């Protein structure tokens, strides 16, 4: 592979998705490689938000049932638009809540300790919010999380072995919660194999898709995953604090939600105002409160764009971008002490590259001071996410050259090797 800029330009010229970059608010003096934390704003998302604001302006309270996107059905509409991204039926998906509130809801609904089965299986590499929620749910049921939250151990600090996960599925496990993609290393777990193994042992299983939805294809319904949950502000580009989402396999539609609320109702009966809940016969039963209409609005534009492109095409370019980045790191940065800590294989690599370096925190600060937005992860990780919808191969090349210059000149030493308030 050529390491000069001509190769990057050639790849950009051949990129069928290059036109979509024009729809995002990018900056000519900044390279944004943090789309796996917060995706950029697109003109379609912006227009969708203004559309919903206009419906409020025009219709007032009648906006719940009138206008182009009646608010009363917005969560279901967005769920149907999301379903193809995770290989689900439209009625199995609802856009609601947040990652953690949805995890609380799903754990309350599917964690039923009985007999020996009183423990929840998670992993030691999971995002802290998931662990906090699971600890809370155990405590609410009178269990000590120290004993009843079992964590699959990692052998290298970055990845999980499928065999280790399966070995931890003992007769004491009542529920399993795992990430689809690990937030640090970007490893894709074998969700199909793990789900099959869990069900063979009579264990319900759910996945956190925050780092996989919009980045990789899924087939949740075919895999018979029991449930899943996610945020929408990373690869779905829904905006800061945008509404989360959840999936519940239709075989569980007869189950009442563990945390019921008014919007858990069958919509035909919701305004009967009865004190006995008639839950919706779809994923909508797992809603709790009133939809956050304005926080969900940008997804109308974002999901329209993603549907137009197709998740397979997005995945294809993402793999090419990260492969190109890894090749350049190997050839240009190896001598400066960088280690590629994410899986290299296409089949188990998510949407970002994870570099490790002893000076990672100060290197990230130096990159940011020079117009590159990376993401530091304690203790020594640098996440770089070239996003298929708006990043280019030329940006990848430019970032590597800048990083090489920072290391060669040791300009990173001007910064403290300590994370900021937000890393």
Separation of alpha carbons 39 and 237, rounded Å:
4
Separation of alpha carbons 43 and 20, rounded Å:
10
The mean pLDDT value for 123-138 works out to: 98
Long-range pairs, 256-260, Cβ under 8 A, ≥24: 256/109, 256/285, 257/105, 257/108, 257/109, 257/285, 257/286, 257/288, 258/105, 258/106, 258/107, 258/108, 258/109, 258/110, 258/111, 259/104, 259/105, 259/108, 259/109, 259/288, 260/288
Paired sense of beta strands 372-373 and 31-32, if any: parallel
Q: Among candidates 343, 336, 392, 340, which has minimal Cα distance to 363?
A: 336
- 15 a known binding residue? no
Residues 293-323 have pLDDT tens digits of 999 999 999 999 999 999 999 999 999 999 9
User: What percent of the chain stands above pLDDT 70?
Assistant: 100
Are 5-32+310-411 and 47-308 the same fold in CATH?
A: no
Q: How far is CA 208 from CA 59, 229, 319, in A?
A: 37, 5, 21
- 146 a known binding residue? no
Those residues whose C-beta lies under 8 Å from the C-beta of residue 130, and which sit 6 or more positions away, are: 99, 100, 103, 122, 177, 179, 208
The mean pLDDT value for 255-282 works out to: 95
Sign, CA torsion 116/121/124/128? negative
Separation of alpha carbons 42 and 239, rounded Å:
10
Residues 345-368 have pLDDT tens digits of 999 999 999 999 999 999 999 999
Concatenating the DSSP letter of every residue in 244-311 gives -EEEE-GGGTTSPPSS--GGGB-TTTGGG--SS--B-SSGGGG--S---HHHHTHHHHHHHHHHHH-H
Those residues whose C-beta lies under 8 Å from the C-beta of residue 128, and which sit 6 or more positions away, are: none
Helices (H) and strands (E) in the chain, counts: 14, 13
Please give the structure tokens belonging to residue 236. Answer: 């779905």
Separation of alpha carbons 248 and 197, rounded Å:
19
- 397 a known binding residue? no
Residues 63-103 have pLDDT tens digits of 999 999 999 999 999 999 999 999 999 999 999 999 999 99
Q: Which residues pair with 204 in a beta bridge?
A: 175
CATH 1.20.810.10 assigned to domain 5-32+310-411? The reply is no
CATH architecture of the domain with range 47-308: 3-Layer(aba) Sandwich (3.40)
What does the CA dihedral 57, 61, 65, 68 come to, rounded to 10 degrees? 10
Contact in structure between 227 and 206 (CB atoms under 8 Å):
yes
Those residues whose C-beta lies under 8 Å from the C-beta of residue 364, and which sit 6 or more positions away, are: 374, 375, 376, 382, 423
Q: What confidence score (pLDDT) does residue 421 get?
A: 73
- 100 a known binding residue? yes
Mean pLDDT score of the chain: 97
Separation of alpha carbons 341 and 394, rounded Å:
23
Paired sense of beta strands 227-230 and 204-208, if any: parallel
The mean pLDDT value for 261-275 works out to: 95
Q: What confidence score (pLDDT) does residue 39 get?
A: 98
**Chain position carrying tokens 């137009």:** 308
The mean pLDDT value for 261-281 works out to: 95
Contact in structure between 355 and 329 (CB atoms under 8 Å):
yes
pLDDT beyond 90 at 4: no
- 127 a known binding residue? yes
- 64 a known binding residue? no
Q: HSE (CB half, 13 Å, CA atoms) of 284?
A: 25
pLDDT beyond 70 at 127: yes
Residues 6-64 have pLDDT tens digits of 999 999 999 999 999 999 999 999 999 999 999 999 999 999 999 999 999 999 999 99
Q: How far is CA 172 from CA 59, 109, 148, in A?
A: 54, 18, 9
The mean pLDDT value for 175-187 works out to: 98
Cis peptide before 379 (omega within 30 of 0): yes
Confidence of residue 225 (pLDDT cuts 50, 70, 90): very high
The domain segmentation of the chain, as residue ranges, is 5-32+310-411, 47-308
What does the CA dihedral 252, 254, 256, 262 come to, rounded to 10 degrees? 110
- 290 a known binding residue? yes
Confidence of residue 220 (pLDDT cuts 50, 70, 90): very high
Concatenating the DSSP letter of every residue in 154-208 gives PSSSS---HHHHHHT--TTEEEEEEESB-TTT-BBP-HHHHHHHHHHTT-EEEEE
Separation of alpha carbons 180 and 230, rounded Å:
10
Q: What confidence score (pLDDT) does residue 1 get?
A: 65
Give the predicted TM-score (pTM) of the model.
0.97
Q: Among candidates 213, 262, 218, 217, which has minimal Cα distance to 238?
A: 213
- 211 a known binding residue? yes
């Amino acid at each position: 592979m050529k390491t000069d800029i001509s190769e990057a330009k050639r790849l950009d010229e051949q990129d069928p998705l290059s036109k979509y970059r024009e729809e995002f608010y990018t900056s000519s003096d900044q390279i944004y490689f943090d789309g796996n934390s917060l995706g950029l704003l697109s003109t379609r998302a912006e227009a969708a938000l203004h559309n919903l604001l206009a419906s409020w302006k025009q219709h007032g309270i009648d906006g719940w049932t009138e206008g182009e996107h009646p608010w009363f059905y917005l969560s279901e509409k967005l769920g149907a638009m999301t379903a193809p991204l995770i290989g689900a039926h439209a009625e199995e998906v609802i856009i609601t809540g947040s990652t953690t509130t949805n995890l609380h809801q799903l754990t309350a609904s599917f964690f039923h300790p009985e007999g020996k089965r009183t423990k929840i299986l998670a992993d030691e590499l999971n995002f802290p919010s998931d662990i906090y929620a699971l600890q809370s749910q155990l405590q609410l049921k009178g269990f000590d999380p120290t004993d009843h939250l079992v964590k699959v151990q990692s052998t290298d600090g970055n990845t999980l072995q499928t065999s280790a996960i399966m070995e931890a599925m003992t007769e004491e496990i009542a529920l399993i919660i795992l990430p689809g993609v690990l937030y640090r290393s970007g490893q894709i777990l074998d969700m199909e194999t793990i789900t099959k193994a869990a069900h063979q042992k009579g264990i319900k299983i759910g996945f956190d898709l925050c780092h996989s939805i919009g980045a990789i294809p899924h087939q949740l319904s075919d895999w018979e995953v029991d449930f899943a949950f996610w945020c929408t502000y990373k690869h779905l580009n829904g905006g800061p604090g945008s509404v989360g989402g959840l999936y519940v396999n239709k075989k569980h539609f007869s189950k009442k939600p563990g945390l019921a609320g008014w919007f858990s109702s069958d919509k035909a009966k919701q305004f009967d105002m009865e004190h006995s809940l008639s839950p919706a016969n779809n994923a909508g039963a797992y809603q709790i409160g009133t939809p956050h209409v304005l926080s969900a609005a940008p997804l109308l534009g974002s999901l329209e764009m993603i549907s137009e492109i197709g998740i397979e095409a997005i995945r294809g370019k993402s793999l090419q971008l990260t492969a190109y980045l890894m090749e350049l790191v190997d050839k240009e940065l190896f001598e400066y002490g960088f280690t590629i800590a994410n899986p290299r294989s296409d089949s188990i690599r998510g949407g970002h590259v994870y570099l490790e370096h002893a000076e990672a925190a100060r290197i990230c600060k130096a990159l940011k001071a020079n117009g590159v937005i990376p993401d530091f992860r304690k203790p020594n990780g640098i996440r770089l996410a070239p996003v298929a919808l708006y990043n280019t191969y030329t940006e990848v090349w430019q970032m590597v050259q800048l990083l090489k210059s920072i290391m060669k000149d040791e300009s990173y030493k001007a910064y403290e090797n300590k994370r900021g308030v937000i890393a």
